[in-house]
Structure 1
């Protein structure tokens, strides 16, 4: 693997608005890793990979629903959020290598919206929204 997951810090990347995908683009985008970040809590909520950065979020993406519920619960309890997305562009073009790097980062950052970490955090916002909100509050 040409990329060392220990040298990638999503909290140090430039964040962009979550509505980035609504902006017009003249290309399908590039391969990248992306991180949904709550900067107010210094928390990596989701780690993903794509070969088409401008198209990945245009369709159905379960993470959009998780983010909406996460923000709704925080608003309801008067807790601040600053949820944005950050991109890391120096990723392998090869899909398998990119997915291996993605998995390493999912496990390293213990991102609660990734299914690989649901055993640790529970499945977010699936059945009981309150159960997950309590677990998130324990992180602070």
Structure 2
């Protein structure tokens, strides 16, 4: 549960706090765009990612509701859903090994999944995410979701 709390503090409550901080100015100006970044784990169920997925799904629902609520003030809300991006070194930014989170009873189940992570067929680059954020921020339509990276685009389809 400590891990789950850290995930939600960062991925969910941190995002909500940032949005809460910027909305009053955007609402007063009657313009602006909130672009929240979630993950392609929200596009299809994936093993060994339940807590992470839950933290990102919460922001999906939050942002979808915001899109409706803020439209009356001329403010848009968008979601960017990046795929697996091993070059970001994301796993090196946490203070524990992901493998240590797997109970012994799940070791045989988890081993081939971790092996597949080592050589994925499709991945997302940082530039894919930057392009999706730019598109989302500049798109004046009511489109909500922007998958980023070939793997996320494939999952979204």
Q: Into which bin does the TM-score normalised by the smaller protein fall?
A: under 0.3
The structure with the largest strand share of the pair is: 1
The structure with the largest helix share of the pair is: 2
TM, length-normalised to structure 2: 0.24
**Which structure: larger Rg?**
2
